[in-house]
Each structure stands twice: as C-alpha cells, then as structure tokens.
Chain A
C-alpha cells in the first residue's frame, strides 16, 4: 500500500540552518493528519514543501505515486489555507472563490454552481458579494477555506488557520473543519502548535521537534503512550519524574522515585538500576493522606508535602514536593458541586502518592 503523500528523506536548509531534517512521512488518502510542534520545529516548512512553495534541499516528495518534487505549485493538485487567509483584497468573496476555476477556464454556469456549493459548505451563502475587508476574521477564514476546496484538491493544507481567531470561534471552527473533512472526504494536513486542536480534530498526529517527527500516532495513543519526554510534556500536562528501575518482572517494573516506589507497565526491557523518566498525567495521581509515618509495604508510594493548592474552576490541582528530593508532582481532581475533591487537604499536609500501573509510563532517558 502506498500513501497519498509521501516524503522520503526530505531535508530543508536555509543557509546553514537545518529546518527539516531527513524527514520521512506518509500521509494516507482521506485522513486528517496534524503536524504538531512548537514554533520553529519545521511544521510549516514541511507544509510549504508539499504545496511547492519551498523546494526541499534534499529528498523526494510524491503525490499519488507520482514524484512532485520539481513540480511548481500551480501544477500540484494541492491547495492551501494560509494563516493570514491571503484573500485577494480587490476581489469579492465569490470572485476569490472562483479564482482557481477561472484559471482552469471552467464554464460560466459551472463556476457559478461550484462557487455556490463552496459557499454553502462553509455557511457563507449570503456573503457572496462582500469584499474581504467588509467581513470579520472568522468569515474571512471560511472564505479562505471555500477558495481552497472549490477546485477539489487531492490534499488540503491548512497552515495554522485558526490561530488568529478568538477562543470561542476557534472551538466552533474545529467542529466545522471536522464536518467539512467528513463531507469532502479529501485528505487534510493541518499545521498547528495547539495540542488541543491537533488532538480533537485529527485521525493521526505527527509531533515534530527540531525538524524531525518524534512520534506519529492516533491522538489517544499519543496521550496515553508518549514515546519520549518531549511528546509527554507537549501533549497535555504530564508529571515527568526522574526515577530508577528497582525491579523488573516481565513487562511489569517497579521504579524507585523519591523515597518510595511506584509500579509501572513497560514495553521496553528495562534492567534493574536503569535511570528512566516517568510520565504520569495529573488526573491519575492519587494522594493518600498519611497520618504519621509513611506506610510500609512492597511498593509503598513516595511521600511528600502539599506546597500548593489551586482552584481551577471545574477542578482543583495540588502540588506535592516529594520528601528527600526536589521533584514536584501535580495532581488534579474534578470538583464535585464546587467542593474540592481533595476533601480537607491543606497546604503543609503530608501525603503519600499512589498510581495505577497503567497510569505510569516509562520513558528511557
């Protein structure tokens, strides 16, 4: 099986600065793939190379099996929604959308019908005669989208299209984009630095850092099983703790962290004494109020002192400093009817940490 878009060993250098580093990426037909990473990680450059707006320094790109590395942008069946929308200011909304069709010398009635369909698709049917500067940012966004899909590209590229919108509109547009993706059935490649956008919309997410894809997976997998420290910290909130493998039995290991031990599942073969990093989501950290001395047992969790309690609205977070180390762990609990789920826990209280083995993820350092 062949991917719809394939990047093979693609490198992009600007001067001596490597922006995309020997990247391999395979985008399947019809999927919604996000390129996620902090600014400067090479995600936009990757998108621009697929569009043909940048030439790779090395490597090849193919679309539908055909090599497109040397094809100019106007000959690629790929369209882009730009971050700045890039609507043509001297053309009306409908003329903006008709731009690609006119270049193909489509018939007048055909153009009119397709423009109308595209406008309906983005719910801007009654704004056909407006000019870009007469409509709001959110509406411009929709027009940019309609303009890019009207010619039915094989791949739609979206370069941080939601970043200029306010929060409410951004969340509404996420749902809209998903709906349009479903209706059109074409491949979406979405560039974003917002992990929330990537997780909610994508079929798969490629987490990028320093010009490389660190992990390419379904959102659930990325969240539950990050492959590296960077992915764990970038996707959602995570407690990243330095620990040492205490015992290993099959795929179950016990790790020593602080003055206690935690059980963990580990696919890697970790030998006793290996220094590792633990990743635990704040929602999955349990705090047991310890009265008096630390509990003892085979795998007694590390103890610590609550140093901070923060009300977050729908939840409360507690920060615990582990005894005998300078590491901190954050725990989050949903509030029940406005009452902290941590009960009467106060700053200064001693607690003991506990976690399900499935909640503790081992990352090799």
Chain B
C-alpha cells in the first residue's frame, strides 16, 4: 500500500467518523423521544414496557387538540397567503428597475436578520395600538373588543413567512434566463399569459420550496407567536412549552413523534414529486442524439 493511499484512506476514515458522531448527536435526542413515546412509565428516564396509551390519549386531550388545530389553521392560511405575496414581491424585485429597490430589499430582509424577540416585541406594540384604534372606531367595549388571538398570530406569521419565502423565490427567479419571458411575449403572449405559461412553471421548484419553508416556520415558531397570542389561541409549540414547565408528560413525546413523522412524510413526498416531475420529462429511455 502506498503512503498516499494510506493517507487518503485515513482522511476518509476521519471524515467518516466525525460525520457519524455529528449525525449521532443530532438524531440521538429524537431517537430517545420516539422510544419514550412508547414507554408506559409516567415519569421520565426508566423504561417500563411498550404502550400506545400516550397516542390514544391525544384525541381526548381537548387542550392539546385545540393547540394542534390552532397551529394547523394558522399554518395552512399563512402558507398560501405568504407564498403568493412572496412570488409577487420576488417578481417585482427581480423584474423591475425602480427607485428605492435597495431599501425595499433591506426592509424585506429585516424580519430575517432581526432577532425574533425584537420582531415579537415590536409586533406586540404595533398590534396593541392597531387593536385599540380598531376597537375605538368600531365602538366596541370591553365585552366585545377584538383581542389578540388567532388573527394576530396569523398576521405575524404571514409577515415573517413572506420574508423567508421571498428570499427563496427570488433565488430561483435570478437563475431564470430573462429571454424566456421575452420569447413568450415575442410569440404573442400577454404578460399575464407569460406568467402562467412560462415563468411560474420555470420557478415552480422555488415557489414550492418557499411554501414548504413558510409551512415549517409557521408550525415551528415560538418566540414571535408567544408575543401576539391570546387566550384560547395557544399554538402547539407554546402548549408544549407550557406543559413541560409543569411536568414531563409522555403524551408530549407522542405528539412530538407524530410531528417528526409528519415532517418526514412531507419531505419524502416533496422528493417524490420532484423525481416524478423530472421522470415525466423523459420521453424515452434512449439517449438523446448529440450533434447538429
């Protein structure tokens, strides 16, 4: 064996072991969580026996179910709304030369670079003002006042979802040959037709990626949501946190495992959709003929 080969083998081994350790550290807690969601012991660290009781208890836990439905309601509205907004913003930002483009860009990136706690506090302050104004205008008193709740969380989520999704859609637009849109116009399409027939299909991976990002961020968000939530509108992350402060409940392990499983399903589905999309574009197995 030559020394060069030995060295190469050694570096491969080093790299491999470091990666293995890193992955192990990353997934060990998740594995513990999954395992203990099937543990019949009520408290923590001792394995008793296998059970599905914690999963069965979820539907009966009305508070938990309410938190799950709040989270889903918010995420499922915030995702499409912010994806559409993000696509429109990205088209405007990438397509046009206009005054104030750079400052628009900075403003748009603010929710991404600013610490979440700042965004949370400022949203709380702004929304308090807005709600007071709204209640004054509508003449609502203490009894029927509009308060913090799902709508305020939804607005907050749309705000930061849009910022992140715009970033992703813009990246895919930037890779787009500007001549594609011109070719479409040239061949007789209006701008509207060009968007639907050429631009949207071409940036679809970016738009879907942005949507997926928005969905994840929305389901996941804790800090900002914490500031703009109200009675009865607790989302899942906040509910989980509240329960853990009291006692480590195995049903939380079960919920977390379900979320983890759901994200894996979504991820695999996305990969499948991608693979299907590219398979559809191959008309035959035969290699394309090269040359003019």
Interface set of A (CB-CB < 8 Å, partner B)? 51-53, 72-74, 78-80, 82-84, 86-90, 92, 99-100, 103-104, 127, 129-131, 134-136, 138-139, 141-142, 147-148, 151, 165, 169, 172-173
Chain A residue nearest in CB terms to B292: A138
Is B291 touching A103 in the complex (CB atoms < 8 A)?
no
Is B189 touching A86 in the complex (CB atoms < 8 A)?
no
| 151-208 of chain B: CB within 8 A of chain A | 177, 179-180, 182-190, 193, 197-198, 201-202
When distances are taken between beta carbons in the complex, the residues of chain B under 8 Å from A127 are 289
When distances are taken between beta carbons in the complex, the residues of chain B under 8 Å from A172 are 292
| Residue in B177, B185, B198, B292 whose CB lies within 8 Å of A136 | B292
| Residue in B179, B189, B190, B202 whose CB lies within 8 Å of A82 | B179
Is A88 touching B283 in the complex (CB atoms < 8 A)?
no
Is A131 touching B185 in the complex (CB atoms < 8 A)?
no
Could you tell me how many residues of chain B have their Cβ less than 8 Å away from some Cβ of chain A?
26
Chain A residue nearest in CB terms to B283: A129
Chain B residue nearest in CB terms to A134: B288
CB distance from B276 to the nearest CB of A (A): 14
Is A151 touching B292 in the complex (CB atoms < 8 A)?
no
Is B292 touching A130 in the complex (CB atoms < 8 A)?
no
| Residue in A73, A80, A86, A141 whose CB lies within 8 Å of B177 | A86
A-B contacts, 22 of them at CB < 8 A, read A52-B185, A52-B186, A53-B185, A72-B185, A72-B190, A73-B186, A74-B186, A74-B189, A79-B187, A83-B179, A88-B201, A90-B201, A90-B281, A92-B283, A104-B188, A129-B283, A135-B288, A138-B292, A147-B187, A151-B187, A165-B292, A169-B292
- The answer to whether A99 and B281 touch (CB under 8 A), given A86-B177, A138-B292, A169-B292, is no
CB distance from B56 to the nearest CB of A (A): 47
Is A88 touching B189 in the complex (CB atoms < 8 A)?
no
A53 to B180, alpha carbons, bound, how many Å?
12
A131 to B282, alpha carbons, bound, how many Å?
7
Is B183 touching A80 in the complex (CB atoms < 8 A)?
yes
Interface set of B (CB-CB < 8 Å, partner A)? 177, 179-180, 182-190, 193, 197-198, 201-202, 281-284, 288-292
CB distance from A94 to the nearest CB of B (A): 10
A99 to B194, alpha carbons, bound, how many Å?
11
Is B283 touching A103 in the complex (CB atoms < 8 A)?
no
| Residue in B186, B193, B201, B281 whose CB lies within 8 Å of A131 | B281
In order of increasing CB-CB distance, the 7 nearest A-B pairs are A138-B292, A86-B179, A86-B183, A129-B283, A100-B187, A134-B288, A90-B201
**Could you say which of B180, B183, B193, B197 has the most chain A C-beta atoms within 10 Å of its C-beta?**
B183
Is A103 touching B189 in the complex (CB atoms < 8 A)?
yes
Is B283 touching A53 in the complex (CB atoms < 8 A)?
no
When distances are taken between beta carbons in the complex, the residues of chain A under 8 Å from B282 are 131, 134
Is A99 touching B184 in the complex (CB atoms < 8 A)?
yes
CB distance from B92 to the nearest CB of A (A): 19
Is A130 touching B185 in the complex (CB atoms < 8 A)?
no
Is A99 touching B187 in the complex (CB atoms < 8 A)?
yes
**Could you say which of B189, B198, B281, B284 has the most chain A C-beta atoms within 10 Å of its C-beta?**
B281
Give 9 A-B pairs besides A74-B187, A88-B180 with Cβ atoms closer than 8 angstroms. A53-B186, A74-B185, A88-B183, A88-B184, A103-B188, A131-B282, A134-B288, A139-B292, A172-B292
- The answer to whether A82 and B292 touch (CB under 8 A), given A90-B202, A100-B188, A130-B283, is no
- The answer to whether A89 and B288 touch (CB under 8 A), given A80-B186, A82-B182, is no
